[in-house]
Structure 1
């Protein structure tokens, strides 16, 4: 949590919300940490290394099931963290995962052979 608090203090988006918290209904503050208003509240993760680390831990490591799809990864992260456009960010991360692309079966019908006119 210390690292998260430090990252929030260095993030302009988080600083803006903290300074005007009454104007943001989707956020709350707990122990000087900006939290997404949910039940239970979960900490806001600013853009940068910390967010990438969380994506790596929840998508790439064997301890968390390694290379689950978008929905499972999103569900696991949403239980503990929050940031705007989570769905989009997690979707982009998984789409760019080389191992997922190599080992997931194609769901598209393979192209047929060309026929002369």
Structure 2
């Protein structure tokens, strides 16, 4: 987001004093967290970590408890992000995915970078209408979101890998195509044919077809027409 000046708040006195140098960090795990924080701070022109005293946190704590008691009869939906590993662990080496050329992102990238439109008038009109919804940062195409962070635009090869991981991978989310598509968007990925690709993969999945709810209602074309009154209507 190109933030240059940042002020962070914490209610832990231990963390703030270890960062300022007033306290030592004898714990090996805390030393790794402190080292990681010091490496991230270098990226900002100004960074400040302020501790919120307990006396100033009483009103916020009381307000949160009051809200939990007052609106307890409402149905709540809380999104929980599960962190699979610690931030101090070493990053996994992931092989890059070579996308096919051209793909759906190429016309949008050419229009945003060089103001170049396709030769076909209809396709050029679509690119011009869709381009304002995208932005390029660090040579990566992102799609803007209404209520959330920007989503990483991926090609068709990487998109198929993402759908397969959510549907058949470690998540094993054998749900409807709308649920899986929403899960992928919450993970921060986007491509135009998201819903269609997920629906096609679910149609090819034997487990989803075997355990999917079946409609027992008879079809209209299978009902005999030569029935006595009042069934002929």
What is residue 208 of structure 2 aligned with on the other side? 100
Q: Residues 13, 95 of structure 1: CA spacing in aligned structure 2 closer, same or farther, 3 A cutoff?
A: same
CA RMSD of aligned residues (A): 2.8
Would the aligned equivalents of 1:11 and 1:46 in 2 still touch at CA under 8 Å?
no
More helix by share: 1
Q: Which residue of 2 aligns with 1:15?
A: 106
CA distance in 2, matches of 1:31, 1:2: 19
Specify the structure having the higher radius of gyration (Cα).
Answer: 2
Which residues of structure 2 form unaligned runs of 5+? 1-93, 116-127, 228-233
Q: Which runs of 4+ in 1 moved over 4 A?
A: none
Partner SS, residue 64 of structure 1: coil
Residue correspondences, number: 110
1:76 aligns with 2:169: no
Normalising by structure 2, report the TM-score.
0.41
Specify which of 44, 48, 57 is matched with residue 153 of structure 2: 44
Sort the Cα spacing of 1:52 and 1:82 in 2 relative to 1 into closer, same or farther, 3 A. same
Relative contact order: is structure 1 or structure 2 higher (C-alpha 8 Å, sep ≥ 6)? 1
- Which structure 1 segments of 5+ residues have no match? none
TM-score (norm 1): 0.75
